[in-house]
Amino acid sequence: MLPATAAALAVLAALLAWPVPALLGRARWPRRDPLVALVCWQAIGLAGGLSIIGALLVHGLAPWGHSLPEAGWAVLTGHPARDPVRGDHWVTLTLAAVLAAELLGVLALSWVRTARTRRRHRELLELVVQPSAAAPDARLLEHPAPVAFCIPGARPLLVLSSGMVAELDDGQLAAVVAHERAHLAEHHHLYLLPFVAWEAALPVLPAAGRAHAAVRELVEMRADDRALASLAVPDPRRTLAQAIVVAAGGASGGVPDGALAVGGSAVGVRVLRLLDPPAPLPAPARAAALLTAGLLLLVPTVLLLAPAL
């Protein structure tokens, strides 16, 4: 039962595990629309997990029914298998359970560890920071290095160092604050979390590290774009680029784990993108990318729920 369905899911899982992430990671268009690219990366990660676990489940439950819901219900209600249950069925069911437990367990563990780290840093910072005159929602940290970062969570914290305030002019400082506000407003840490877990769960898979790096770069570009839209200065792109370069000098030594920082990732690429901006992604291409992301999620879902092929 379901040999074609299991094979189709396995092929899709293989494509989403290596060639598709490799192609998207090398593509140039994500820099033209980071938000659409982030949606595509999320779809790849979720569809890949559904496909590989689904392929194992479909094969393992084959003796119990003509579709995955039917077979799963038969197992849950204690109905006997319609066909002989071989050793390979038990092996694939075990692998599906182990893989699902590992992926979900690592995701939960990453969430807990990151949340604990952020909470600890927030509690320590709240002992030493003070209100900042640069922005009502920012806090000032006495530190000579030019550092700016935000700690997301239920009680977000936006921190500027005294070195950053001293080194930037008013326009550049506004650009930094707008960038960090964008991270908090759009919850960019949630875009990153699945790929942190994916890389931790599957360290031998090159696509996992590539995807994590790409998503980290894209959330910074997205925050740059949001910051540009809110700046009221004569040359917002150059202003933000200059602020990023200054912040990059202090980011290595002053940004706590779990924080998002304006100077923390892909600084050179982002500065070039700001000073020589690519053309916006055309509406048809944007729609095509979003449609592809939707199809990536729809195909494994349909294969898992539909009757046998």
- DSSP-based helix, strand, coil % in the chain, nearest 5: 70, 5, 25
User: Does 165 reside within a domain?
Assistant: yes
- Number of domains forming the structure of the chain: 1
Name the token pair of 98: 């182990």
Is 229 domain-assigned? yes
Residue ranges of E strands in 217-282: 260-261
Residue at 169 is within a domain: yes
Burial class (CB in 10 A: 0-12, 13-18, 19+), 213: middle
In this prediction, residue 66 has a pLDDT band, given cuts at 50, 70 and 90, of: confident
Q: Is the pLDDT of residue 34 over 50?
A: yes
Pick the more confident residue, 250 or 103: 103
CA distance 68 to 120: 44
How far is the C-alpha of 191 from the C-alpha of 208, rounded, in Å?
14
C-alpha to C-alpha distances, 293 to 91, 243, 297, 302, nearest whole angstrom = 32, 34, 7, 15
At residue 195, the pLDDT reads 94
- The answer, yes or no, to whether residue 287 has pLDDT greater than 50, is yes
pLDDT computed for residue 1 by the predictor: 47
- Range 169-183 average pLDDT: 97
- In tens, the pLDDT along 242-252 reads 999 999 987 66
pLDDT tier for residue 180 given thresholds of 50, 70 and 90 = very high
Residues 107-129 have pLDDT tens digits of: 999 999 999 999 999 999 999 99
Check residue 168 and give its pLDDT. 96
Tell me how long the chain is: 309
Nearest CA to 233 out of 278, 273, 175, 164 is that of 175
Q: Which domain holds residue 255?
A: 134-278
Q: Is residue 166 part of a domain?
A: yes
Q: What is the mean pLDDT of residues 174-180?
A: 97
Q: Is residue 181 part of a domain?
A: yes
On average, the pLDDT of the chain sits at 93
Cα separation, 171 vs 222, in Å, equals 19
pTM across the whole model: 0.94
Taking Cα atoms as reference points, which of 12, 45, 97, 47 lies closest to residue 208?
Answer: 45
Q: Let me know if residue 149 belongs to a domain.
A: yes
CA distance readout (Å), 219 to 111, 179, 215: 18, 10, 6
Q: What is the side-by-side order of every strand in the sheet holding 130-131? A: 130-131, 138-141, 157-161, 148-151, 260-261
Residue 199 resides in a domain: yes
Q: Is residue 21 part of a domain?
A: no
pLDDT band at 3; cut points 50, 70, 90: confident
Cα dihedral 52→58→59→63 (10° resolution): 170
Residue 48 pLDDT > 50, yes or no? yes
Residue 150 predicted with pLDDT over 60: yes
Q: What would the two tokens of residue 133 be?
A: 């005159």
CA dist., res. 245 & res. 40, Å (int) = 29
Question: What average pLDDT does this structure show over 178-198?
Answer: 95
Least confident of 14-28, 176-190, 203-217, 225-239: 203-217
